[in-house]
A and B are shown apart, each in its own frame.
Chain A
Amino acid sequence: MRRNVYCEHPRFSVCYGIPAFPVSFCESITIQAPAQGELPMEYTNVEEVLERLKQAGYIASHEIATVVFLADATQKPVLVEGPAGVGKTELAKAVAGNLGRELIRLQCYEGLDEAKALYEWEYAKQLLYTQIVKEKIQDVISRAHTLAEAVELIAEQEDAFFSERFLQSRPLLKAISSDKPVVLLIDEIDKSDPEFEAFLLELLSDFQVTIPEIGTRAARNVPFVFLTSNNYRDISDALKRRCIHLYIDYPELNLEKRIVKLKHPEIEDQLLGNVVEAMAKIRTLDLKKKPCISETIDWARSLTALGINGMTPEALKETLNVVCKYRSDSELVKKHAAMILDRP
């Protein structure tokens, strides 16, 4: 499929003032759609992503949907960043949910290594088997006349001891050796050590891992990979280069209203508007921990449970501990109650 696109978007033509930059954007470009079958695409366009994520209970912004669509089409991992509680992990779950794939999750922490992330030999099992088949080994080497021959004979049997039977697969190996395509979530990658990050590079660019005793294992199905980061430390450039970057910010008013409505359908529109608007204002304050989406939902639930229909200073004060997790934050919110509720 070939189509020509002439870019005459009015916004692009306002390029005045910088002669080094081209004023015209009106070149004809040819768009080559990817050949079908070359890359198995789950989604056909961005709108479909939006719609299907919504069915899975996740209301995405256009930016999120575009990135998910591109990641699917180009089979690249997505590096998701953003403040705590904006739905980074939730996004991976939603994608897994609506694609009907299994979600394999790897939680990173300091000191995480290959043995816990990729595979480990089951030493105990290996040793026990060696003990049990001791006599069989005797049989094998009984044919040998010299020591060298005996060693040779045992070496022929080496595969019996370093086979998949004794390999305990951990999340990453599971993800690439699974028969069906999966969604792999590597959570809080910033908490792991830089060594681990380097080790991920092979996996993320070629979707293969090397196990010295067995050889290189390539993925049967390329998993849909999400990496999340809270920016505890900066991620290395090499890793970033292999990913598509997505920053999820606190949602806009309308988006947040839709999210709350989805998770808590009984809420009345009047209260919904009040809660979400108040929350947006609370987030502008200089708080230690800014309330996230799940807190908005909790707040809405508590207010309905208390039978409160409109936001009043009293209601705000009573339910504040759902929103603020530090005493100094509560004090600050109380001080600005008038601004938050829009009442002079």
Chain B
Amino acid sequence: MVNLVLKFVASSRASGLSISTSEVLDCMNQLKLIDPVNETRFRTVLRANFAKSRREQGQFDRLYDFFFHGTGSEETVQQQAALKRPLDAVLDELKKEEPTDSTEEMILKFLAGDPLDLLSEIQRIQTEETEGNPVLKSNLGSISSRLHIMLAINRTRQRLVTFLGDNHSPADTEDYRQLERFITSRLETAQVLLRENPRPYHDDLKQIDSQAVGQSRLGERSFASLSQDEIAEMREVIGHLVRKLKDIVSRRLRANRHGKLDVKKTLRTASRYQGVPIRIEYQDRSPRKGRIVTLCDLSSSVWATARFMLNMLYSMQECFSQVRSFAFVSGLCEISEIFKKNEVNDAIEQVMSEPGIDLNALTDYGETFRQFKRNNMQVLNKKTTLIIVGDGRSNYMNPQEHILEEMRDKCRRLIWLNPESERFWATGDCEMLTYKAYCHEIRQCRNLNQLMDFIEGLVL
């Protein structure tokens, strides 16, 4: 049994679960204490030791079923052994009959009981990182490779049916039926494997649709529908709110200041009472150094909100010790420096005319994430809150959500602010439902009240 568990661990590690040696040892010790023939308990022990968060459990469950119950086929070992010879014979004949391409080869191997090639191909498609071609963008990469395999599966099925129909003698009808059933079910399994898109379990998502009441008139107007005068007014209100935010930050500091004993200060006060230390003084604690990294979409679909988001980002730089800001449309560009050097309105104008950002390009979230991973991944650590502002409309490009997952693993919290109403998230080219699975929190952020509600939550 040790070998079996070790093999399972090896497969789990290969599929991305991180399992340490001490966890394997613990698992072994615990298996001694229970009855391993009771599958519920066996599974519980493995799960309690190898998948230590709800997100990992999704992967674990898939893998466990795959490992211990195979690819879902119902045959017992004896049946499989009986079918092995005729199956091999049929497959050999089929190979001789007509030259096959590599994809069909893969499927025939899968039928013969060696699914590794097919599985790794599917794995490749699911976690592909497409190199962005800046001139000609295509969004068909993963769809077309899937289609290719799917067509090959259909072709193989067709050929097998014809072949079996031509070659079976009435004497072995029962065998023939069994074989046919088997092949059909295996091919069906292959189809399912190809179609499904693994997503982690995700029931800890915090989804907030705040109905905060603050600024009643201006606060509820959507950013997109503001007139020229109102924009000016909005600026003023934001300025006011930012001042209030700073107050909140300093108040938090005061309330939370019980640090170590401050000997110097205590002795100084004590001298007032003839050296009796009546009042104890404590050292102030330094404020929490929240680090924030923001990615802000500036494309035309969020044009109206982008300015306010930038305004907010600008004010956040003042409240937190370390803020890195990035803007993107089809590629990423760091704008922290611009914010540091310029006054707010100038800074926003400068960002909007920044040569690194092509405002007319098609938004591509996948490419943005890829660039972020390549150049800026080191800015994320366990103290960083990553805020992504955007509508998730990626023009049907490859969403590359697995990069977002890597980013999630690196940072403390991943929050997505969407300037669109939730009703539209499942429509058109919006990838929000895909990305949702990897965020800690998603929020609608269409007007001032919602924005302020978010910022206050972030600061407090």
The total of chain B residues at the interface (CB under 8 A) is: 69
* A17–B189 alpha-carbon span in the complex (Å): 12
Which of A74-82, A254-262, A292-300 lies at the interface?
Answer: A74-82
Please report which residues of chain B, range 256-284, place their CB below 8 angstroms from some CB of chain A when the two chains form the complex: 256, 258, 261, 266, 275-277, 280
| Contact, CB under 8 Å: A231 / B3 | no
Q: Is A230 an interface residue (CB 8 A)?
A: yes
Given contacts A231-B204, A241-B20, contact A15 B383 (CB under 8 A): no
* A153–B274 alpha-carbon span in the complex (Å): 25
Tell me the nearest residue of chain A to B252, going by C-beta.
Answer: A111
* A31–B35 alpha-carbon span in the complex (Å): 10
| Contact, CB under 8 Å: B67 / A21 | yes
* A263–B29 alpha-carbon span in the complex (Å): 37
| Contact, CB under 8 Å: A127 / B277 | yes
How far is the CB of A259 from the nearest CB of chain B, in Å?
20
* A81–B201 alpha-carbon span in the complex (Å): 13
How far is the CB of B158 from the nearest CB of chain A, in Å?
23
| Contact, CB under 8 Å: B73 / A16 | yes
Q: Which residues from B are CB-within-8-Å of A234?
A: 53, 408-409
Which of A63-71, A88-96, A218-226 lies at the interface?
Answer: A63-71
* A241–B22 alpha-carbon span in the complex (Å): 8
Please report which residues of chain B, range 32-83, place their CB below 8 angstroms from some CB of chain A when the two chains form the complex: 32-37, 39-41, 44-45, 47-49, 51-54, 57, 66-71, 73-77, 80
How far is the CB of B210 from the nearest CB of chain A, in Å?
11
Q: Is A25 an interface residue (CB 8 A)?
A: yes
Give the residue of A19, A32, A131, A237 whose beta carbon is less than 8 angstroms from that of B113.
Answer: A19
Give the residue of B36, B67, B261, B288 whose beta carbon is less than 8 angstroms from that of A111.
Answer: B288
Q: Is A199 an interface residue (CB 8 A)?
A: no
Interface bits A5-41 vs B (CB < 8 Å: 1, else 0): 1010111111111111111010101011110000000
| Contact, CB under 8 Å: A66 / B115 | no
How far is the CB of A254 from the nearest CB of chain B, in Å?
15
Q: Which residues from B are CB-within-8-Å of A82?
A: 54
How far is the CB of B342 from the nearest CB of chain A, in Å?
33
| Contact, CB under 8 Å: B30 / A9 | no
Q: Is A273 an interface residue (CB 8 A)?
A: no
How far is the CB of A125 from the nearest CB of chain B, in Å?
10
Which of A143-151, A172-180, A244-252, A312-320 lies at the interface?
Answer: A244-252
* A12–B44 alpha-carbon span in the complex (Å): 15
Q: Is A104 an interface residue (CB 8 A)?
A: no
Given contacts A74-B26, A233-B413, A236-B382, contact A32 B32 (CB under 8 A): yes
Q: Which residues from A are CB-within-8-Å of B139?
A: none
Q: Is A73 an interface residue (CB 8 A)?
A: yes
| Contact, CB under 8 Å: A123 / B33 | no
Given contacts A21-B7, A29-B1, contact A231 B34 (CB under 8 A): no
How far is the CB of B300 from the nearest CB of chain A, in Å?
30
How far is the CB of B313 from the nearest CB of chain A, in Å?
22
Q: Is B15 an interface residue (CB 8 A)?
A: no
* A233–B54 alpha-carbon span in the complex (Å): 12
How far is the CB of B209 from the nearest CB of chain A, in Å?
7
Q: Which residues from A are CB-within-8-Å of B71?
A: 16-18
| Contact, CB under 8 Å: A231 / B36 | no
Given contacts A5-B36, A243-B52, contact A17 B73 (CB under 8 A): yes
Given contacts A234-B53, A288-B209, contact A25 B1 (CB under 8 A): yes
* A127–B266 alpha-carbon span in the complex (Å): 10
* A235–B412 alpha-carbon span in the complex (Å): 9
Q: Which residues from A are CB-within-8-Å of B382?
A: 194, 236
Q: Which residues from B are CB-within-8-Å of A328?
A: 209
| Contact, CB under 8 Å: B44 / A63 | yes
How far is the CB of B325 from the nearest CB of chain A, in Å?
22
| Contact, CB under 8 Å: B32 / A11 | no
How far is the CB of B459 from the nearest CB of chain A, in Å?
12
Interface bits A204-235 vs B (CB < 8 Å: 1, else 0): 00000000000000000000000000111111
Give the residue of B3, B22, B74, B114 whose beta carbon is less than 8 angstroms from that of A22.
Answer: B3
| Contact, CB under 8 Å: B68 / A12 | yes
* A79–B413 alpha-carbon span in the complex (Å): 20
| Contact, CB under 8 Å: B54 / A123 | no
Q: Which residues from A are CB-within-8-Å of B49?
A: 244-245
Q: Is B4 an interface residue (CB 8 A)?
A: yes
Question: What is the interface of chain A, defined by CB distance below 8 A to chain B?
Answer: 5, 7, 9-23, 25, 27, 29, 31-34, 46, 62-63, 66-67, 69-70, 73-74, 76, 79, 81-83, 110-111, 115, 121, 123-124, 127-128, 131, 193-194, 230-237, 240-241, 243-247, 288, 328
Further contacts, 10 of them, CB under 8 A, given A17-B113, A81-B54: A9-B37, A14-B77, A17-B73, A18-B116, A27-B1, A27-B3, A66-B48, A70-B45, A233-B412, A243-B52
Question: What is the interface of chain B, defined by CB distance below 8 A to chain A?
Answer: 1-4, 7, 11, 18, 20, 22-23, 26, 29-30, 32-37, 39-41, 44-45, 47-49, 51-54, 57, 66-71, 73-77, 80, 113-116, 203-204, 206-207, 209, 256, 258, 261, 266, 275-277, 280, 288, 382-383, 408-409, 412-413, 440
User: 12 A–B contact pairs at CB < 8 A?
Assistant: A14-B74, A14-B76, A16-B75, A16-B77, A18-B67, A22-B3, A22-B7, A69-B33, A127-B280, A131-B277, A232-B440, A240-B52
